[in-house]
Amino acid sequence: MSPTKEDYLKILFELGGRTEQVPNKEIANRLSISPPTVTEMMNSLVKAGWVVYTPYKGSKLTQEGTDYAKKLIRKHRLWEVFLVKHLGFNINEVHPEAELLEHSTSAELADRLEAYLEFPEYCPHGGAISTDLMEEQEDMTVHLTEAVLGVPVRISRIVDEDRLLRYFENHDLKIGDRVTVTGRDSGLDLLTLNHGTTDKEIQISQTIAQYLFVEHI
């Protein structure tokens, strides 16, 4: 498996490909790649047994594809923990580093690294590390867009995609922050939040709020 193919599997998992069909366009967007390239790659992933592909509909991961993706995500998150905890990297810097390291990590190395880090439960962005907890978290967490108006919640996880992390940093949002959704404007695609700690008003786009997960306090 090449780093390229591995990244396709990972993205597929992150876009819900474990349970639903993911349209090519979403993959193309996330990887900044042209749609024909995605079509081509999906056919190749089908041939290798990682994916089930329905033309014009989208792709779903097979069981093997799901397992492979979860192993990759585990490696990615383990490296992020190492980079932050031991090497003193900033939370917003580690994702691109881990994006590379994940592909150069044997199962043996991942296991030893996990033990060395004393079996952390979450990565610095709140993502679960154990492959079982990963599915659970994926099924249980609520998107910020689905939070009830006026009810305070805690940010539990940020989808760690480079552009998103910068967006959230620019809006002063962090894992663990308490926020309350105070307004929703679907026309302007806006979500208004009250930040629990600073009591400041924050406005973010609803489209992007989909990548923020929250839990009830």
Partner DNA sequence: GTTGATATTTAGGTTACCCTAATATATAAA
Partner DNA sequence: TTTATATATTAGGGTAACCTAAATATCAAC
Binding site for a second copy (CB under 8 A): 83, 86-89, 97, 100-101, 103-106, 109, 112-113, 116
Considering beta carbons, is residue 41 or 193 the nearer one to DNA? 41
- Orientation of helix 24-31 relative to helix 35-47, angle to 10°: 110
What tokens were used for 45? 């992933």
Considering beta carbons, is residue 30 or 76 the nearer one to a second copy? 76
Strands 58-61 and 190-195, bridge-based pairing: unpaired
Total residues contacting Mn ion (rule CB under 5 A)? 4
Indicate which of Mn ion, a second copy, DNA, none lies near residue 167 (CB less than 5 to 8 Å, by partner kind).
none
Looking at residue 20, what DSSP letter applies? S
**Contact call for residues 56 and 24 (beta carbons, < 8 A):** no
Considering beta carbons, is residue 44 or 92 the nearer one to DNA? 44
Q: How far apart are CA 160 and CA 166, in angstroms?
A: 10
Indicate which of Mn ion, DNA, a second copy, none lies near residue 106 (CB less than 5 to 8 Å, by partner kind).
a second copy
Q: How far apart are CA 117 and CA 113, in angstroms?
A: 6
**Beta carbon of residue 195, minimum distance to a second copy (angstroms, whole number):** 31
Position 58, amino acid? G
Which chain residues interact with DNA by CB under 7 A? 2, 4-5, 23-25, 28, 32-42, 44, 53, 55-58
Which chain residues interact with Mn ion by CB under 5 A? 7, 95, 99, 160
